[in-house]
Structure 1
Amino acid sequence: MPAFVFVLQTAGSRFCLLLRSLLYPGPCLQPGPDRRPAGGIVFFAVFLSNHYLVVFCMLWDAVRNSLASTLPASEYELWIKPLVCQGDENDAMVLAGPDRFFCAWVEQRYLELIRQKHLAAGGQGRVALRVAGSGAPAAPDERQLRLPGLPRHEARLRSLHPAFTFDQFMVGESNILAQSACKALALNDYTFGRCLFMSSETGLGKSHLTQAVVHQVLRSAPATRLRYLTAQQFSAEMVQGLRTRTMDRFAERYLDDCDMLLLEDVHTLTGKNKTQEELNVVLDSLLKSGRRVILTSSLPPDRISGLDTDFKSRMTSGLLASIQAPAFETRVRIIQHKLAAQNMAVAGELVEYMAEQLTGDIRRMESAVMNVRARCRLRGSPPDLAMIREVLDGFACMPAQLTAEAICQHISSRFRVGREDLCSRSRKRSIVFPRQVAIYLTRKFTGHSLAEIGALYRRDHSTVLHAIRTITQKMAQNTAVREQVDLLSKDLEKRR
């Protein structure tokens, strides 16, 4: 039987004719007199085998044009334009995205809108997403994302943020070394070596760069066996292996089935000697066999206490890259980028004013931009200097964020106790109380977790929690303690 290609150029306004017929003897389907196809829509039905026709619905162009006029330009360019129509399957329009993480994000944020536009253009409102090159619809997003090709219970990937890619990262003098090293490792370029240790305060881009590496590797070399997790997750896996007597499987996951290890928050391993021992073995094996390793920490190596000497030496055997707070010029570009992502046009002098005021971590800049956007929408007017000032005056995070190190130094100075004493194992009352106050204030003024605070003061999670509860109780019961802590808090507030 000969192959047929049906081309239907239609004119009309509301409905489109979906043509699907088998190649058996009989008349072709014709549109009824009361069914008018959608104007300007072209359908191709191509005979692909001796058994069936596949109908390619060219609705996508109309849907995409409608989305372009509905969504902000930045969102359209980032999340809609990369989608490619691959025809139809089970009466649903099939759209393909570059990877499963991209598809998961589109499904969560835009799929319902796409279906509405599809219905409005004359389709049935049925749309399916799949990863380009795969034969099955994209899997729904999971809390724990996993790699294809590996046993489901073995894969280990933290959830990824779709926007944490290299092209969305603003490079400046403060982070260019870390960014260059990460990009090189992602592309199998060993210019900077095979092991990278990144450190910075929170909110400066460590996780962004680490996830950018994962995104890049999954796109350019999807067969790579990646392990991306936190040090606490690694420790939990090890403890589970010990409890269930499956340490051989635990070792196999990291020694035999891992091409690249990305481990975040290694400073939280303070005092966890067994975990350090196991991780030391893993790092030794990976690096000796030429595999790639990226480690991140909120503290530089020389300030992480409670680490085994051999383990610390091993994890710092490669490149050490410290990320600092962005300079003014970089802050300007970051704020401009954030504003563009919200489809907001703001005068250059206003952007510079925001950059002057918003020093410190990038999350504060994001929050400020969202506040400006919200006020613009509520008032129905573009931002001006008065509005920007109003936002920043009431913006809780406008002052530079206090660091844990600054708080430690302040307590050390006020109580006349050496910083090393605060971080020591001493149980002298003259040391314990200032240490507990420092821990309490660090928890109050920073976004550090209990584990991160414990890493700074060489204490475990339970000891940090006990210190916070102790100071809270003493403040409630003892007026002198409350006044003392309040005075210290006011001192720190002035330094913000």
Structure 2
Amino acid sequence: MMNAWERIQPILEKSLKPGIFQLWIKPLKGEYHQDSNRLVLEAPNDFIASWVKDKLEDAVLSSGMEVLGKKPELAITSPDNNCKTSPLKVGRMVNPEEKPALPSRKALKIVSGFKFFFRDFVVGPCNELAYVASKSFCSERISSDQLFLCSSTGLGKTHLAQSMGNHLAEISNTKNIRMAYLTAEEFASQLVMALKSRRMDEFKARFRDQIDVLMLEDIHFFQGKENIQNEFLSTINSLQCQGKKVVLTSTFLPKELKDIDSNIVSRMCRGFLAVIERPDLQTRREIIKNKAASMQIDVPDEVTDFLAGKIQQDIRQLESCLQNLVFKARMLKEKISLELANQVIKHFDVQEHSLSMDDIINQVCKLFDVSLDSISSKSRKKQYVLARNVAFFVARRHTEASLKEIGYKLNRRHSTVIKGITSVEKELSRQSPLGRQLEQTISQIVS
């Protein structure tokens, strides 16, 4: 027998726009408590919970009344607001005079453990320069102690950075090369911790004297953080003076970054800079073949061509789509075919047609149920900010518009566009509940 929420959902589906129902109602789990006449809905994250509460409460109550014969009390929860506890109430007591422990030196001494290798990187016209520069950087065939890798999400920055880590460890005479590999956000967090605990000498020693190579991902995180920028610049200058290596990655070119000290921008441009472009059709084919070979499966050429033609923006998505196709074929005990590929690819970001900025903004407004005036306004309301950020992210990936042009469309500055894109990338990469929701939303916008 269907429970009350299962009977309420079809009524909501009929009364709401399809996109609204899919994004905001379908992820909810519900339970009706008859003794208290209470309908409890659990959202996957706090954002969806507050959005449903603000926008759809009346619709839910109206549908609930139709099923139950009376209007229920509505409670909307999420793991975000159910599990918040003070760190001082958990575990041992914290002495306010006690200095928090910084990551140990061992945490910076990396010999192996990176997931990616050069041998697994598929080289094509889109990434050949970055690949050659990365390999040469390891063998000192280029006269630079710094390499800057730039590309959109999912095109291979991390793959090359980790491959350099593995390669440097392999060729080191001592087999004991000291590397610090972390994101710019993690670097900033460790710096703040050191400042609070008055252990800056230890922090400086760790990142300047105790390592041979510093690898920092997503350095655009430093935008607008003046104190952190100062320490970062001092760190890489110190490493350079000692002849040590620095690898930086970002979604943006140095010249595109705003609220970054001009000395840092100059320093970033001083080393070797390599941009990874979107993969061409042949490279995408080779990526599929390479992945299939590593999985020891046979993928028909027609399926390879179909997937390579449909997913053009993101190598991670291309590989994920293949993995899902293989899994489905094995579960159903079927051969990999075009028919099966057609079923799987519906859930991915496929390139069917070109998108304009107006198309993207209209879709965002429709799916978030907001007006153009709202997301163009100065309001910092959470749903407006998220809608704007999604529009920025999709426009960056699916149009040729510059950051300045994207910002102009929504009455925002260049630097705000970068922050918005970075925020969405962070949620997507973490695969948080909100990140998975954004992934679904973006898929609907571009499909």
What TM-score do the two structures reach when normalised by structure 2?
0.59
Structure with greater contact order relative to length (CA < 8 Å, sep ≥ 6): 2
Q: Is the 8 A contact 1:203 1:363 kept in 2?
A: yes
Look up the equivalent residue of 2:387 and give its one-letter code.
Y
Q: Cα–Cα, structure 1 residues 225 and 272, in superposed 2: closer, same or farther, change >3 Å?
A: same
- In the alignment, which residue of structure 2 is the partner of 1:165? 117
In the alignment, structure 1 residue 197 sits paired with structure 2 residue 148: yes
Deviation at 1:275, TM superposition (A): 0.7
- Identify which of 254, 258, 262 aligns with 2:207: 254
CA–CA separation in structure 1 for the residues paired with 2:154 and 2:335: 28
Cα RMSD, aligned residues only: 4.1
- Identify which of 410, 416, 419 aligns with 1:457: 416
Q: Give deviations 1:1-31, integer Å, cap 9, x for gaps.
A: xxxxxxxxxxxxxxxxxxxxxxxxxxxxxxx
- Identify which of 270, 284, 294 aligns with 2:247: 294
- In the alignment, which residue of structure 1 is the partner of 2:100? none
Q: Give deviations 1:251-307, integer Å, cap 9, x for gaps.
A: 111222221111111001111101100110111122233221110011111222110
Look up the equivalent residue of 1:209 and give its one-letter code.
L
- Identify which of 280, 287, 301 aligns with 1:327: 280
- In the alignment, which residue of structure 1 is the partner of 2:387? 440
Q: Is the 8 A contact 1:160 1:211 kept in 2?
A: no
Q: Cα–Cα, structure 1 residues 200 and 383, in superposed 2: closer, same or farther, change >3 Å?
A: same
Deviation at 1:387, TM superposition (A): 1.9
Q: Cα–Cα, structure 1 residues 490 and 155, in superposed 2: closer, same or farther, change >3 Å?
A: closer
CA–CA separation in structure 2 for the residues paired with 1:369 and 1:201: 21
In the alignment, structure 1 residue 238 sits paired with structure 2 residue 238: no
Q: Give deviations 1:389-414, integer Å, cap 9, x for gaps.
A: 2222x2233348999xx8699659x9
Q: Cα–Cα, structure 1 residues 430 and 172, in superposed 2: closer, same or farther, change >3 Å?
A: closer
Q: Cα–Cα, structure 1 residues 179 and 157, in superposed 2: closer, same or farther, change >3 Å?
A: farther
Deviation at 1:235, TM superposition (A): 0.8
Q: Cα–Cα, structure 1 residues 250 and 446, in superposed 2: closer, same or farther, change >3 Å?
A: same
Deviation at 1:360, TM superposition (A): 1.0
CA–CA separation in structure 2 for the residues paired with 1:250 and 1:491: 40
Give secondary structure in 2 for the equivalent of 1:295: strand
Give secondary structure in 2 for the equivalent of 1:316: helix
CA–CA separation in structure 1 for the residues paired with 2:129 and 2:183: 22
Which 5+ residue runs of structure 1 have no aligned equivalent? Answer: 1-150, 416-427, 469-488
Q: Is the 8 A contact 1:198 1:297 kept in 2?
A: yes
CA–CA separation in structure 2 for the residues paired with 1:284 and 1:409: 45
Which 5+ residue runs of structure 2 have no aligned equivalent? Answer: 1-102, 366-373, 397-411, 428-439
CA–CA separation in structure 2 for the residues paired with 1:224 and 1:446: 37
- In the alignment, which residue of structure 2 is the partner of 1:390? 343
CA–CA separation in structure 1 for the residues paired with 2:358 and 2:227: 28
CA–CA separation in structure 2 for the residues paired with 1:329 and 1:454: 37
Q: Cα–Cα, structure 1 residues 186 and 408, in superposed 2: closer, same or farther, change >3 Å?
A: farther
CA–CA separation in structure 2 for the residues paired with 1:490 and 1:377: 29
Q: Give deviations 1:202-232, integer Å, cap 9, x for gaps.
A: 1111111111111111222122221111111
- In the alignment, which residue of structure 2 is the partner of 1:32? none
- In the alignment, which residue of structure 2 is the partner of 1:184? 136
Q: Is the 8 A contact 2:288 2:318 kept in 1?
A: yes
Q: Is the 8 A contact 1:186 1:216 kept in 2?
A: yes
Deviation at 1:250, TM superposition (A): 1.1
CA–CA separation in structure 1 for the residues paired with 2:417 and 2:143: 31
- Identify which of 374, 379, 388 aligns with 2:327: 374
Q: Cα–Cα, structure 1 residues 432 and 199, in superposed 2: closer, same or farther, change >3 Å?
A: same
Q: Give deviations 1:11-55, integer Å, cap 9, x for gaps.
A: xxxxxxxxxxxxxxxxxxxxxxxxxxxxxxxxxxxxxxxxxxxxx
Report the number of matched residues. Answer: 302
Q: Cα–Cα, structure 1 residues 492 and 408, in superposed 2: closer, same or farther, change >3 Å?
A: farther
Deviation at 1:155, TM superposition (A): 3.4
Question: What is the identity percentage for the equivalent residue pairs of Structure 1 and Structure 2?
Answer: 28
Bigger CA radius of gyration: 1
Q: Give deviations 1:414-446, integer Å, cap 9, x for gaps.
A: 99xxxxxxxxxxxx9965249984642434895
Give secondary structure in 1 for the equivalent of 2:278: coil
Give secondary structure in 1 for the equivalent of 2:149: strand
Deviation at 1:333, TM superposition (A): 0.5
Give secondary structure in 2 for the equivalent of 1:172: coil
More helix by percentage: 2
What TM-score do the two structures reach when normalised by structure 1?
0.53
Aligned pairs for 1:147-158 within 5 A: 152-153=104-105, 155-156=107-108
Aligned pairs for 1:412-451 within 5 A: 431-433=377-379, 437=384, 439-443=386-390
